[in-house]
Amino acid sequence: MQSSVQTKDVSPQPVRRTDSFWIRMVRQRQLILMSFPMVIYVLIFAYVPIWGWLMAFQQYRPGFSILNQKWVGWYQFRFLFEDENFVRVLRNTVAMSLISLVLSFVTAIGLAILLNEIKKTGIKRLIQTISYMPHFLSWVIVTGLVSTALSTEDGIVNVVLMKLHLINEPILWLGEGKYFWGIVGASNVWKEVGWNTIIYLAAIASVDPSLYEAAEIDGAGRYRKIRNVTLPGIKPVIVILLILNIGWMLNGGGFEIQYFLGNGQVVDWSETIDIFVLKYGLKIGNYSLGVAAGIFKTAVSIVLLYAANTIAKRLGEERLI
């Protein structure tokens, strides 16, 4: 006897996309219209100037159209990589970038964790305000303060070190190349640590409080909660910011600080790619070589960004795309 009960087909049905691309565009027209000014800004100031990259393949002479120049192919790039000065400049840029990157990440994360552990709101806000304020100072002012603090006559650094009997005579901090990279890293930290802390504080605030309660029930102390709850909770933010900062690796930790603090005594340690471009492009007048150096910097930055993003993807971490 056949059963009269009919079984219903419960196989998964394909999801129908009811909204076409144009329908979604119409529904989100307000957001699209709001994004137009920024898109236009990027096109004008980021993509249109790429036309000037043609100068890197020419022996450019001012006063003539960019299409009426002498074409030299890859000559500028070959000269660039054979120039000993550029190798030195590249070394300085990478070294100062790494120092600033490591110090910035460690100090910003550490300060964010310390501020999160402070329970008194008044003290917490005071520390935040004091640490944020240097970010709003111009690098011209900051380098002036650094020069004054490191002065051999009445600089506070030399005065304190001599009072503590750590040194017998003032040190010419800005006159010896071996100190310059550390000064750049410390100056970047002093200026930006408070501002960089904001993102990590926001990430810590988003960590589920029940995780801290569970850790406390399990007998975890303050340090174990930081290590097992706080740091894993903000790891995605750390990875994303690390990828972005690796993309800026060839910025050398800035431009103004090296330009204003550098001098003839430490030029072998202070000159970066940006200063190299300024030197050859504007001062010497070799615009083609300056553009070639800028293209090299951009190409390497793109490669580093995608490499860091790919490594994060293979390791199963958060990534940009």
Q: Which tens digits make up the pLDDT trace of 218-252?
A: 888 888 999 999 999 999 899 999 988 888 888 76
The rounded mean pLDDT for the chain is 86
Residue 179 has pLDDT above 90, yes or no: yes
Q: Which tens digits make up the pLDDT trace of 191-218?
A: 999 999 999 999 998 898 898 889 888 8
Number of domains in the chain: 1
pLDDT at 31: 87
- How confident is the model over 102-125, as a mean pLDDT? 90
Residue 253 has pLDDT above 80, yes or no: no
Do the domain assignments include residue 86?
A: no
In the block, tokens 């790494």 appear at 98
Residue closest to 96 by CA, chosen among 179, 8, 206: 179
List, in sequence order, the alpha helices (H) in the chain.
Answer: 21-27, 29-42, 75-82, 84-117, 121-132, 139-149, 156-163, 177-205, 209-217, 222-225, 231-247, 256-261, 267-270, 273-278, 287-314
Q: Which tens digits make up the pLDDT trace of 30-73?
A: 888 898 999 999 999 988 888 888 888 988 888 777 778 888 88
Do the domain assignments include residue 13?
A: no
Do the domain assignments include residue 72?
A: no
pLDDT at 244: 87
State the CATH number of the domain containing residue 137.
1.10.3720.10
- In this structure, the chain runs to a length of 321
Assign 3-class secondary structure to 267-302. Answer: HHHHCCHHHHHHHHHHHHCCHHHHHHHHHHHHHHHH
Do the domain assignments include residue 40?
A: no
Domain coverage including residue 142: 94-314
Q: pTM to 2 decimals?
A: 0.81
- How confident is the model over 147-160, as a mean pLDDT? 92
Share of the chain above pLDDT 90, in %: 35
pLDDT at 6: 47
Do the domain assignments include residue 302?
A: yes
